[in-house]
Amino acid sequence: MSGHATGTTVLKLGGSVVTEKRTRETVDEASLTAAVGAIAAATVAAAGTDTSAAATDGIDDDPERLVLVHGGGSFGHPAASEHGISSEAGSRDAGAARAVHGAMGRLNGRVVDALADRGVPAFPVHPLSLAHRDREGDLALPAAQVATMLDEGFVPVLHGDVLAHAGRGVTVMSGDTLAVALAERLDAGRVGLCTGVSGVLDADGRVVERIDSFERVADSLSGSDATDVTGGMAGKVRALLALDAPASVFGLDDLEDFLAGGSPGTRIG
Amino acid sequence: MSGHATGTTVLKLGGSVVTEKRTRETVDEASLTAAVGAIAAATVAAAGTDTSAAATDGIDDDPERLVLVHGGGSFGHPAASEHGISSEAGSRDAGAARAVHGAMGRLNGRVVDALADRGVPAFPVHPLSLAHRDREGDLALPAAQVATMLDEGFVPVLHGDVLAHAGRGVTVMSGDTLAVALAERLDAGRVGLCTGVSGVLDADGRVVERIDSFERVADSLSGSDATDVTGGMAGKVRALLALDAPASVFGLDDLEDFLAGGSPGTRIG
């Protein structure tokens, strides 16, 4: 593990990992259990080591600082598209906004409960409560409260959500956008996107090992992942390349490897 | 109604107004219905007027900008005292923190649902997601997202909650503390505390009409309201006196009067 200043990891669990995308508001129990197991193994073990170290010699052995973000999958996306709300198209219909926010809150509750059952000190953090967009569409996302949770040993669990947007009512902030914005504000050392595929795939369906320039992969990415209304793989890659921190895009089977410090799947940046 | 800059009203509904304090996690349905009715009459009517005005002549007739806060009552207080969490005593037990936060979230859901059923464009806003305390105990409470909700015509509904507190895990922020802090940050024109009594009572049980100095009322207030672990009336008065905005402490019967611009009960400051 790296030092304290770069010791924060932002991990996004894709909506296609934690939900069954084809059945409305349905958690993919097997995948969620597997993801939570990997997270518990990394964080609960680290906290246990830290406690005993502190009890015996007072040395801070740098426990894992982990921020989780999850996508919307079959919870957020159907509600958002029914009401015509996207990252661009706003709504002043409070009921529509609550429908999207409520669906995401229910998924967040399931994820937090699953983590809590495995002993992960998870806290729900709802973006509608904390963030907004201004008239230029710039995202204001205060993160000092999230940093304080991390300092105190908790694991904040955020999610894609609707946000108040000056002049537009509410618009959607995707889990991908949130993960990147959090990584910037928390000066994260590593970012991981755990997705429904094993990494960024080239035109032949093979995992690209490393991407350090968007232009070199743009052609093979365009049009992929067309069912994801909040961006698709091309958008993820572009946003991750803009980060200072290295990022990895990988599948659920590689989550344990990522949390142990590895760079499975596609390394970006 | 006053002009735009001072047009924001912060209204706190006491835990003893919206819940049955003696029965755990029980809403006082009659009181909540009455409170929501008064709020709906003030905000939905104002929004309706605004819409038609905008449709006909484009003039902004300054609709009510209302921020709601509610206390914990029989939801938050029992959970907090069971786990020994207060505004001073912290906890690093994530399960205990989630128990308090979850109880408050359930009450918030009931309040938001009741408002939504009456057409109020209410949004749940959870303080754990947005605020924290630093090592000196100072409260960091970003409010630009709440201001954007108001600008867009929504009614944010916040609540007493646990917050991450540097060096102490989590501590409690009461609804009273939150209402005062929001009023400061939003430059509110008026603050109202709707409580289980008709105002601040003197030693003989009569409502004090006006308080502009703590010293003059301190003696008769001390010891009152001892069952309220998050401050009691003396603490409320002291905090409200420190505000620039005038505040009123009143009972549920006077909520409609307050929302119509009146100063029922006890006027403070």
pLDDT digits (tens, 9 = 90+) for B179-207: 999 999 999 999 999 999 999 998 888 99
Measured over all CA atoms, what is the biggest interatomic distance in chain B, rounded to whole angstroms?
Answer: 57
For chain A, give the mean pLDDT: 89
Instruction: Give pLDDT, residue B256.
Output: 97
Q: Chain A: residue nearest B99 by CA?
A: A123
Instruction: Give pLDDT, residue A231.
Output: 58
Instruction: Give pLDDT, residue A222.
Output: 57
Ramachandran angles phi, psi of A186, nearest 5°: -95, 5
Query: Which structure tokens are listed for B42?
Result: 């003030």
Is residue B167 within 8 A of residue B132, CB to CB? The reply is no
Confidence of residue A3 (pLDDT cuts 50, 70, 90): very low
Instruction: Give pLDDT, residue A1.
Output: 38
Interchain proximity B116–A97, CB inside 8 Å: no
Interchain proximity B148–A142, CB inside 8 Å: no
Q: Chain A: residue nearest B109 by CA?
A: A102
Chain A residues lying within 8 Å of B128, measured CB to CB = 123-125, 145
Interchain proximity B149–A166, CB inside 8 Å: no
What's CA B261's distance to the chain center, in Å?
17
Interchain proximity A94–B128, CB inside 8 Å: no
Q: From CA A34, how far away is CA A115, in angstroms rounded?
A: 11
Query: Which secondary structure element, helix H or strand E, spans residue B123, and what is its range?
Result: strand B122-124
Which of A92, A127, A140 is the closest to B144 by Cβ? A140
Torsional sign, CA B141, B145, B148, B150: negative
Q: From CA B204, how far away is CA B202, in angstroms rounded?
A: 5
Chain A residues lying within 8 Å of B152, measured CB to CB = 92, 164-170
Q: From CA B13, how far away is CA B30, in angstroms rounded?
A: 14
Give A267's DSSP letter.
E
Residues of chain B whose beta carbon is less than 8 angstroms from a beta carbon of chain A are 92, 94-95, 97-98, 101, 112, 116, 120-134, 140, 142, 144-145, 148-149, 151-154, 163-170
Q: Chain B: residue nearest A124 by CA?
A: B129
Chain A residues lying within 8 Å of B39, measured CB to CB = none
Instruction: Give pLDDT, residue B18.
Output: 97
Give A208's DSSP letter.
P
Length of chain B: 269
Query: Which secondary structure element, helix H or strand E, spans residue A14, and what is its range?
Result: none
Strand-pair category, B266-268 with B247-251: antiparallel
Specify the higher pLDDT residue, B139 or A204. Answer: B139
Which of A101, A145, A167 is the closest to B164 by Cβ? A145
What type of residue sits at position A118?
A: R
Strand partners, B164: B132, B170
pLDDT at A226 over 60: no
Interchain proximity B124–A129, CB inside 8 Å: yes
Confidence of residue A228 (pLDDT cuts 50, 70, 90): very low
Instruction: Give pLDDT, residue A136.
Output: 97
Report the residue of A123, A139, A159 to disrupt the B interface, i.e. the one with the largest count of B CBs within 10 Å: A123
Instruction: Give pLDDT, residue A45.
Output: 67
Which tens digits make up the pLDDT trace of B132-190? 999 999 999 999 999 999 999 999 999 999 999 999 999 999 999 999 999 999 999 99
Which of A112, A132, A144 is the closest to B148 by Cβ? A132
pLDDT at B54 over 70: no
| Mean local confidence (pLDDT), B114-130 | 98
Closest CA to B248 of B202, B211, B203: B211
Chain A residues lying within 8 Å of B112, measured CB to CB = 98
For chain B, give the mean pLDDT: 89
Tell me the angle at which helices B94-117 and A94-117 cross, rounded to the nearest 10 degrees. 160
Burial of A5 (0-12, 13-18, 19+ CB in 10 A): exposed
Specify the higher pLDDT residue, A191 or A219. Answer: A191
Instruction: Give pLDDT, residue A59.
Output: 42
Is residue B195 within 8 A of residue B92, CB to CB? The reply is no
Report the residue of B145, B154, B171, B185 to disrupt the A interface, i.e. the one with the largest count of A CBs within 10 Å: B145
Confidence of residue B222 (pLDDT cuts 50, 70, 90): low
Which of B97, B129, B145 is the closest to A164 by Cβ? B145
Cα–Cα distances (Å) from A85 to A80, A227, B156, in that order, read: 5, 16, 20
pLDDT at A61 over 70: no
Which of B122, B134, B167 is the closest to A94 by Cβ? B122
Which tens digits make up the pLDDT trace of B1-31? 333 344 999 999 999 999 998 999 999 999 9
Most confident range, picked from A82-86, B56-60, B230-234:
A82-86
Strand partners, B207: B201
Q: From CA B29, how far away is CA B27, in angstroms rounded?
A: 5
Instruction: Give pLDDT, residue A62.
Output: 55
pLDDT at A48 over 80: no
Size of interface A-B (CB pairs under 8 A): 119
Q: Who contacts B26 (Cβ-Cβ below 8 Å, separation ≥6)?
A: B19, B20, B74
Which of A101, A116, A131 is the closest to B145 by Cβ? A131
Ramachandran angles phi, psi of A11, nearest 5°: -120, 120
Report the residue of B152, B165, B182 to disrupt the A interface, i.e. the one with the largest count of A CBs within 10 Å: B152
Segment among A42-56, A253-267, B179-193 with least mean pLDDT: A42-56
Which tens digits make up the pLDDT trace of A113-151? 999 999 999 999 999 999 999 999 999 999 999 999 999
Query: Which structure tokens are listed for A86?
Result: 């996207």
Query: Which 3 state secondary structure label does DSSP give B195?
Result: strand
Q: How many CB atoms lie within 10 A of CB B137?
A: 13
Closest CA to A243 of A184, A173, A176, A186: A184
Query: Which secondary structure element, helix H or strand E, spans residue A214, and what is its range?
Result: helix A214-221
| Mean local confidence (pLDDT), B66-75 | 97
Confidence of residue A202 (pLDDT cuts 50, 70, 90): confident
Specify the higher pLDDT residue, B219 or B266. Answer: B266
Q: From CA B191, how far away is CA B188, in angstroms rounded?
A: 7
